[in-house]
Amino acid sequence: MKEILPNEVAALLKENSTINIIDVREVDEVKTGKIPNAMHIPLGLVEFRMQDLEKSQEYIMVCRSGGRSARAAKLLEDHGYKVMNMMGGMNEWEGPIE
- Establish whether 88 is a catalytic residue: no
Within a domain: residue 79?
A: yes
Within a domain: residue 97?
A: no
User: Radius of gyration over alpha carbons of the chain, in Å?
Assistant: 12
Within a domain: residue 98?
A: no
Helices (H), 1-98: 6-14, 27-30, 43-49, 67-78, 89-92
| pLDDT 10s digits, 29-88 | 999 999 999 999 999 999 999 999 999 999 999 999 999 999 999 999 999 999 999 999
Cα distances (angstroms) measured from residue 16 to each of 36, 63, 75, 80, 82: 12, 22, 28, 26, 20
- pTM, entire model: 0.95
Within a domain: residue 48?
A: yes
CATH number at residue 36: 3.40.250.10
Please check the confidence at residue 17 and state whether its pLDDT lies above 80. no
Q: Catalytic: which of 63, 70, 73, 90?
A: 63
Domain span holding position 42? 2-92
Within a domain: residue 42?
A: yes
- Measured CA to CA, the distance from residue 8 to residue 21 in angstroms comes to 13
Within a domain: residue 69?
A: yes
Give residue 36's pLDDT.
Answer: 93
Number of structural domains the chain divides into: 1
Within a domain: residue 67?
A: yes
